[in-house]
Amino acid sequence: MSLFITFEGLEGSGKSTQARLLYERLQIRGYPVILTREPGGTRIGEMIRRILVDLKHTEMAPTTETLLFSAARAQLISELIRPYLATGGIVLCDRYSDSTYAYQGYGLGRDLDELHAITKAATGDLMPDLTLYLDLTAEEGLERKRLAARVNRGEQLMTPSSPSSSNNAQQEPAWNRLDARDLEYHQRVATGFQELIQRDPQRWRKIDARLPVHEVAHLVELEVEPLLAQITLLEQDS
């Protein structure tokens, strides 16, 4: 048996923070686990991500946006997610197809049935076993991101010659094309997520993302715990 867990939520709700903490925790406990993200996670997917988040790409048509997200997803599933699940491991993914319905469907007004057809082609209907929704209002999430973007800028000014970090922070602005859409857009996305949760309550767990980071992490672990029994621990080196 394997486990496919996704993190969903609005911008700045703490998905990447919590996905990383859960990844570290599971790794320490000896579980076979990988952490990836959407869009991205593969060489090709990260290139597509750069096109999607670039603030200069104001002319991007909604269909282009939808297909680029789906192309990155198709690559991630084929290259990483399916092969790892086949080994009996745990895949943690920072966003997945629910984001397509919430952002391009509810946010941009694309037809949900059309999105479903595109998503089916990209994923072969692979669905997560569990989806953790980090619950925060659009205002709160965007405020966190603005704060983070200011801190980032400050750091860059203070340490212009600091060595480059291994993540993508350098190529990718803390405030990107998708964050920059207006508040009403993000509120439509929030409504979309709530509807998606109502439609499939078994798969989703709502977590209060306003709590301090370590408390959110604890709630995340409590939700994941019952599913771990089906995963075989890695053999420890003696």
Binding site for ligand ATP (CB under 6 A): 9, 11-17, 144-145, 148, 209, 211-213, 216
Question: What gap in Å lies between CA 20 and CA 233, rounded to an integer?
Answer: 19
Least separation in angstroms between residue 56's CB and Mg ion is: 21
Q: Which residues of 42-79 are buried (b: 16+ CB within 10 A; e: fewer)?
A: beebbebbeebbeeeeeeeeeeebbebbbbbbbbbbeb
Least separation in angstroms between residue 132's CB and Mg ion is: 13
Least separation in angstroms between residue 189's CB and ligand ATP is: 11
Read off the tokens for 129: 């076993």
**7/32 with CB nearer Mg ion:** 7
Least separation in angstroms between residue 13's CB and ligand ATP is: 4
List the beta bridge partners of residue 90.
3, 33
Question: What gap in Å lies between CA 178 and CA 126, rounded to an integer?
Answer: 25
Read off the tokens for 136: 């925060």
Q: Residue count at the site for Mg ion (CB under 5 A)?
A: 2
Least separation in angstroms between residue 103's CB and Mg ion is: 14
Residue 145 binding target from Mg ion, ligand ATP, none, CB below 5 to 8 Å by type? ligand ATP
Residue 148 binding target from ligand ATP, Mg ion, none, CB below 5 to 8 Å by type? ligand ATP
Residue 110 binding target from Mg ion, ligand ATP, none, CB below 5 to 8 Å by type? none
**15/186 with CB nearer Mg ion:** 15
How many Cβ atoms sit within 10 Å of the Cβ of residue 86?
A: 9
Least separation in angstroms between residue 16's CB and Mg ion is: 3
Question: What gap in Å lies between CA 77 and CA 125, rounded to an integer?
Answer: 11
How many Cβ atoms sit within 10 Å of the Cβ of residue 221?
A: 16
Contact (CB, 8 A) for 136 and 9: yes
16 binds Mg ion (CB under 5 A): yes
**32/41 with CB nearer ligand ATP:** 41
**53/81 with CB nearer ligand ATP:** 53
Interacting residues with Mg ion (CB under 5 A): 15-16
